[in-house]
Amino acid sequence: MATPKREATIFSYKVILDNEGKLITEITTLPIEDEEIMKEAFSRSREERVFYTSLVKEAKRKLLPIHEWLEKYCQNII
């Protein structure tokens, strides 16, 4: 019997080439806005939940300008 995976995506950034040849950028994060999900996911420790929430917020803050620039760039090169 396979062991279930015990991993989760905290923050992910992708540049995707779709079927039509378009470049798409995508940010995926923990659902930090959904308090119920966050409490369930990090039920062992409030400090752990606060840490990961802060990590996602800081990553978004730093990468959102790059994400926006890359989206505009991808739209203009095609």
Q: Write the single-letter amino acid at 23.
A: L
**Whether the predicted pLDDT of 30 surpasses 80:** yes
CA 51/CA 35 separation, integer angstroms: 14
- Dump pLDDT digits (tens) for 11-20: 898 888 888 8
Q: Taking the complete model, does pTM exceed 0.85, yes or no?
A: no
Find the farthest-apart pair of alpha carbons in the chain and give their distance in angstroms, rounded: 50
- Dump pLDDT digits (tens) for 34-48: 888 888 888 888 898
**Whether the predicted pLDDT of 61 surpasses 90:** yes
Average pLDDT over the chain, rounded to an integer: 84
